[in-house]
Structure 1
Amino acid sequence: MAEYPNIADHGLIGDLQTAALIDTQGTIDWFCAPRFDSPSIFGSLLDADRGGFCRIRPATDDYVTRQLYLPDTAILVTRFLTEEGVGEVIDFMPIAGDEATDRHRIARLINVVRGTMSFEGEIQPRFDYGRAAHTAAASPDNGIKFTGGDQSLTVHRVGDVITHDGQRAGRIELSGDGLKMYGTLSAGDSTGVILETGGAEPLRVQVEELQAMFLETTRFWRDWSNRSTYRGRWREMVNRSAITLKLLTYAPSGALVAAPTAGLPEQIGGERNWDYRYTWIRDASFSVHALLGLGYEAEAEAFVSWLTDRVQESAGDESGPLKVMYRVDGSSDLVEERLDSLGGYRGSAPVRIGNGAADQLQLDIYGEAMDSIQLAAEHGLQLPHVGWTEVGRMLDWVCDNWDRPEEGVWETRGGAQKFTFGRFMCWVALDRGIRLAEAGGRPADIPRWRAQRDAIYTQVMTKAWDAERGAFVQHQETTVLDASVLVMPVMGFISPRDPMWLSTLRAIDEELVSDSLVYRYDPAASPDGLRGSEGTFTLCSFWYVDALARSGRLEEAQLTFEKMLTYANHLGLYAEEIGLTGEQLGNFPQAFSHLSLINAAVNLDHQLDR
């Protein structure tokens, strides 16, 4: 089997419409264009032989690599250290703007900072997840354009570099259906390439132009980072998580994708390989707390506006007025299919695109949506009349449907149940609706909403409580624990010092916590319709930190949080899950992981300061 980098061995760059992953060897092995959810152009992360890549590295096998972000930016620096010298590949994407475009650029600036270094590079695009054949055309000025199906990739050569002894530093040449690059540079020399989608003509770019792009992109990210109001104990990790959330935001609509990747496995060799390049109502709604907690009101406002549009559309089919997830433009065509063109990360098949969970009934999404809308209202973003009217209709639907069996927060495929998380999040939906109506003098059937809210509370406190276990359980027909109940005190459903809650937290300590890491549930005890197992869930681990802090276990909360920081990759990034030996598993980086880190840090700071 071909070699694959570890999932953790990657950094993320992006232009706020799409993104690319670059490993510690200087290889771009994941890039989709023109949007996050578009077909891949480089996909060797999911098939090292057939997926396509862009690689730049020293022309020797004897080197050491180090990788870092330029501070307070999304500019990635991969450093190569050899006996002859030290070189850098600086990767970034100039910001694409707020209007949807097919033009996206990846800039790869090559510098030698000490001694001398010979580089070699290779670009092998594979369009449409490797399903589309392509052509390559070279121009006299050394630009090369690849075209495959509806996609194209232009490689712009960055000038001619003349070394200190007057020699030309490198060359680019076609090689089969790709290209290869060679060059030797000394300290102070710079060259590079720009990869551009969207039909640009081949041309040569001067080094000065590339450096100007670099400065402009640096300025954008530092200006954005400086807007953060966070001044707590974990500023570096919180800021990196904030930048990651920004990178996962589609600027033209304000929607946040769950992750920029598809098909990365929750278990190596297993079938839990999902496409996360979409906007989940749940994940993105939770991000509103994180963004507002750091002072990013414009980003929170943009998402709530997108969410309000979805509420106003109100599909109203069997799965409810809201879909579980949407594409970044608000469309909901997410038919799930298997890709035979890609073999999967380390043989983890099938690779899926689209997501069949989009049409599931997941009742909790109404609680997350209403909580984010109500929180935004507290920060001055009021719903328009039409928006409030549709919210009212949505909450009337919740009144009629909250007691239905559903698939639940974890999108299991083992059959519908009356999940505890879905129930108490319906309580949240009605509670936040009542608050909005009363605070704003809006018309609403408050007596009905209040009656149903109270009925949900009574049911959860009686039927979801297992007296023998001394804990709230996953659903009414089981004794299995579920980490999703960690959100109950966060949402105000129960006091964090309530004896029933403290007993539940102790049960979770004993059954779901491994060091600082938390499992969602035990798949063996609660069949979810899928083969295999999974790692601990990073979101749940940070929820656990928050729950410990609110429950007065501050020393444990701080230690658990500090331990969680040791599981980040070398750049401070997290996938969805963490395996038995600390490896990152699942799609990467994961918005849920980073927004929960931010929320845990902000609350832990608050509790410690008190």
Structure 2
Amino acid sequence: MTAGVSLRPSKADELRYTPIAEHGMIGDMRTAALVGTNGTIDWYCCARFDAPSVFGALLDADRGGSFQLAADVPARTKQFYFPDTNILITRFFADNGVGEVQDFMPIVGDSREADRHRLIRRVLCVRGSLPFIARVAPRFDYGRSVHTVSSQQGQIVFDSPGLSLALSSSVPVEIDGPDACCAFTLDEGDAAVFALDRIGDGVEPRACPLMEAEDLFGATVRYWRGWLSQSRYRGRWREMVHRSALTLKLLTYAPTGAIVAAPTTSLPEQIGGERNWDYRYVWVRDAAFCVYALLRLGFTDEAKAFVRFLSQNVCLTECAEGPLQIMYGIDGRSELPEEELLHLEGHLGSSPVRIGNDAVNQLQLDIYGALIDSLYLYDKWGEPLSSEHWDTIGKLVDWVCDNWDQPDEGIWETRGKTQNFLYSQLMCWVAVERAMRIAAHRGLPADMVRWGKARDTIYRRIMDRGWSSKRQAFVQHEGDDVLDASVLMMPLAKFISPTDPKWLSTLDALGEELVSDSLLYRYDPRSSPDGLRGEEGTFSICSFWYVEALSRAGRVDEARLAFEKMLTYGNHLGLYAEEIGRTGEQTGNFPQAFTHLALISAAFNLDRALG
């Protein structure tokens, strides 16, 4: 399969926007910011992932707002993470000097100032002498809110109706209209500090002297390294796996244990297209797979926190009668109304910009399997599920037994007509099968006769109607011959042997039609219309599923080559967006949790296959 031609922006527009992949992420497990390789923060929501943006130049270079901090002379730049942390360093190499900007959010834990939400930018000159320029240009509420700027006790305060921020700096800063700016020069060994704090609600403005910034830097390094030291992974791809784990941790909302799908909204799946969605929420599917990946690494606290989130906020207490809602807010709220922000042009002109997500109202039966599989793994590797949890799981499985054969929107959240998707039925089988495993292992009460009958009926339905004699492959949905990369989960979920002849034939068919240089398309929207205009790139999670399927099938050399190729598609920091475009560019929301958890799983299984 070949990709269609993207709607390319003009050269002038390309100069106004930093490409999606040219960013690193920092955060404090409450919110996140994206820092471009040019030193500009052009995405930041304060003080939680789903709050309105303060810096949103990634979605509108003119009206979105940004925090520029860079060398004021022509310079080459390089970006990396301080080893084994989420502290981002952007280096500037100029004719007369070398400097760097260290970006991080201090981890405050349960301190009394947990609501401060401090963002620190520490600038150092490490060689020679280097001039710098800074401009802080917030645009509150996605650029919809007017704000005032004032100088108060040596700080610059930005006031808007819903949020106030205070900027402290170790170098003089001037007010310039709605912005604050400065120019300064550092000699070798000199440093400067900028700190942006959320203020109000009992949090007062506070300076950030050089020594305090250095202390917070050290404390944040210790936090991230202490957390990462719990990892049990010692395989061949340790650096990439650990970067993925650190990324997943950054996407965790600490107050509730929720895990967001991505920290951004409306980054386009196709430049100039309309496939732009808000991912700053908790998909039950994504978060459950995240727990699986973190459990594999040994991070049981994160799994426990997510199970607590499910118990207290979502589906294990109130929604057991089904159908389950597919996504929730990071605080557990169920209403996520979708809205288009018509005043923003979108990344490289890709409109509309959306906040909220109407897919919240879709029926997606696969989430039952993802949820119960994660609880099965938690019961096995974490701690035993409670009796209340088991009672609720029983109700969920009973609902699946009655409703597994309904048509739904499927894993890809199509906005066309509903279908009897193979993947949805597969994960319903997983839901019943894993529940039966828990019951057998723990000796828990269960209607094993009814559950077993449903499990076997789903199996026979998939093997009968999900198999295409014409294609010699398992297909996307009943009544058609369309291939779909989601069937790669069949051996991964232990539904079929990875060496079963029918599966090996399916693997070959996927390779011939959907694979391009290790990259996989989800499906061909021309053959299977999804209700949206335009085309899309390859889906990175599917590429890692393909690696795992190859390794389980015994095609280890192919799997390793595909995996190594996929690593070259990551950005300079090892981060992945949702998709890869036709020329290798990253598209879609960034970074995406789903992709990083699939990388972890693929690395684990490939390591095991290689011995």
After TM superposition, the score normalised by the length of structure 1 is 0.96
2:176 paired residue number: 175
1:366-377 mapped onto 2 (5 Å cutoff): 366-377=368-379
1:350 paired residue number: 352
Looking at structure 2, the residues matched to 576 and 76 of structure 1 have their Cα atoms a distance apart, in angstroms, of: 21
Looking at structure 2, the residues matched to 203 and 385 of structure 1 have their Cα atoms a distance apart, in angstroms, of: 48
The letter for the 2-side match of 1:359 is N
Give the one of 58, 63, 79 matched to 1:45: 58
1:86 paired residue number: 98
2:6 paired residue number: none
Q: Per the alignment, do residues 98 and 474 of structure 1 end up closer, same or farther by CA in structure 2, a change over 3 Å counting?
A: farther
Looking at structure 2, the residues matched to 212 and 178 of structure 1 have their Cα atoms a distance apart, in angstroms, of: 29
3-state SS, counterpart of residue 311 of structure 1: coil
Looking at structure 1, the residues matched to 448 and 383 of structure 2 have their Cα atoms a distance apart, in angstroms, of: 22
Looking at structure 1, the residues matched to 407 and 40 of structure 2 have their Cα atoms a distance apart, in angstroms, of: 46
**Alpha-carbon offset, residue 316 of structure 1:** 6.3
The letter for the 1-side match of 2:90 is T
Q: Does 1:287 align with 2:301?
A: no
Looking at structure 1, the residues matched to 416 and 361 of structure 2 have their Cα atoms a distance apart, in angstroms, of: 15
3-state SS, counterpart of residue 273 of structure 1: coil
Give the one of 2, 7, 27 matched to 1:14: 27
**Alpha-carbon offset, residue 276 of structure 1:** 0.3
1:233 paired residue number: 236
The letter for the 2-side match of 1:573 is L
Give the one of 490, 502, 505 matched to 2:504: 502
2:317 paired residue number: 313
The letter for the 2-side match of 1:501 is W
3-state SS, counterpart of residue 173 of structure 2: strand
1:388-467 mapped onto 2 (5 Å cutoff): 388-467=390-469
- In the alignment, structure 1 segments of 5+ residues that lack a partner are 159-169
Give the one of 137, 149, 157 matched to 1:124: 137
Check the 8 A contact 1:34/1:101 in 2, yes or no.
Answer: no
Check the 8 A contact 1:10/1:22 in 2, yes or no.
Answer: yes
2:189 paired residue number: 188
1:155 paired residue number: 167
Check the 8 A contact 2:323/2:363 in 1, yes or no.
Answer: no
**Alpha-carbon offset, residue 331 of structure 1:** 1.2
Check the 8 A contact 2:303/2:382 in 1, yes or no.
Answer: no
3-state SS, counterpart of residue 398 of structure 2: helix
**Alpha-carbon offset, residue 147 of structure 1:** 1.2
Looking at structure 1, the residues matched to 400 and 591 of structure 2 have their Cα atoms a distance apart, in angstroms, of: 33
The letter for the 2-side match of 1:382 is P
Deviations 1:418-438 (A, max 9, x none): 000000110000001111112
**Alpha-carbon offset, residue 98 of structure 1:** 5.4
**Alpha-carbon offset, residue 116 of structure 1:** 0.4
After TM superposition, the score normalised by the length of structure 2 is 0.95
Check the 8 A contact 1:122/1:179 in 2, yes or no.
Answer: yes
State the identity %.
57
Equivalent pairs counted in the alignment come to 594
**Alpha-carbon offset, residue 180 of structure 1:** 0.4
**Alpha-carbon offset, residue 380 of structure 1:** 4.1
**Alpha-carbon offset, residue 441 of structure 1:** 2.0
The letter for the 2-side match of 1:176 is G
1:304 paired residue number: 307
Looking at structure 1, the residues matched to 66 and 315 of structure 2 have their Cα atoms a distance apart, in angstroms, of: 40
Check the 8 A contact 2:300/2:382 in 1, yes or no.
Answer: no
1:466-477 mapped onto 2 (5 Å cutoff): 466-477=468-479
The letter for the 2-side match of 1:194 is A
Decide which moves more: 387-396 or 78-87: 387-396
**Alpha-carbon offset, residue 39 of structure 1:** 0.6
1:162 paired residue number: none
Give the one of 41, 45, 48 matched to 1:32: 45
Looking at structure 1, the residues matched to 118 and 78 of structure 2 have their Cα atoms a distance apart, in angstroms, of: 24
Check the 8 A contact 2:197/2:205 in 1, yes or no.
Answer: no
- In the alignment, structure 2 segments of 5+ residues that lack a partner are 1-11
**Alpha-carbon offset, residue 33 of structure 1:** 1.4
Deviations 1:341-376 (A, max 9, x none): 321001100000111111100000000001000011
Looking at structure 2, the residues matched to 144 and 399 of structure 1 have their Cα atoms a distance apart, in angstroms, of: 60
The letter for the 1-side match of 2:230 is R
Check the 8 A contact 1:98/1:251 in 2, yes or no.
Answer: no
Deviations 1:50-74 (A, max 9, x none): 00100011112x1111111101000
2:3 paired residue number: none
3-state SS, counterpart of residue 277 of structure 1: coil
**Alpha-carbon offset, residue 203 of structure 1:** 4.2
Give the one of 145, 148, 159 matched to 1:135: 148
RMSD: 1.3
2:158 paired residue number: 146
**Alpha-carbon offset, residue 103 of structure 1:** 2.0
The letter for the 2-side match of 1:104 is H
2:363 paired residue number: 361
Looking at structure 2, the residues matched to 369 and 362 of structure 1 have their Cα atoms a distance apart, in angstroms, of: 12
Looking at structure 1, the residues matched to 72 and 432 of structure 2 have their Cα atoms a distance apart, in angstroms, of: 62
Q: Does 1:516 align with 2:518?
A: yes
Give the one of 184, 197, 208 matched to 2:211: 208
Deviations 1:561-606 (A, max 9, x none): 0000000100110000001110000000000110000000011001
Deviations 1:242-287 (A, max 9, x none): 1000000011111110000001000000000000001111111111
3-state SS, counterpart of residue 581 of structure 1: coil
Looking at structure 1, the residues matched to 578 and 486 of structure 2 have their Cα atoms a distance apart, in angstroms, of: 15
3-state SS, counterpart of residue 109 of structure 1: strand
Deviations 1:80-113 (A, max 9, x none): 1111100111000001425895421110000000
Looking at structure 2, the residues matched to 266 and 370 of structure 1 have their Cα atoms a distance apart, in angstroms, of: 30
Q: Per the alignment, do residues 203 and 381 of structure 1 end up closer, same or farther by CA in structure 2, a change over 3 Å counting?
A: closer
The letter for the 1-side match of 2:325 is K
3-state SS, counterpart of residue 231 of structure 2: coil
**Alpha-carbon offset, residue 527 of structure 1:** 0.1
3-state SS, counterpart of residue 204 of structure 1: coil
**Alpha-carbon offset, residue 295 of structure 1:** 1.0
Looking at structure 1, the residues matched to 116 and 58 of structure 2 have their Cα atoms a distance apart, in angstroms, of: 23
1:381 paired residue number: 383
Q: Per the alignment, do residues 361 and 101 of structure 1 end up closer, same or farther by CA in structure 2, a change over 3 Å counting?
A: farther
Looking at structure 1, the residues matched to 320 and 386 of structure 2 have their Cα atoms a distance apart, in angstroms, of: 20
Looking at structure 2, the residues matched to 380 and 102 of structure 1 have their Cα atoms a distance apart, in angstroms, of: 31
**Alpha-carbon offset, residue 315 of structure 1:** 3.2
**Alpha-carbon offset, residue 293 of structure 1:** 1.2
Q: Does 1:266 align with 2:266?
A: no
The letter for the 2-side match of 1:245 is L
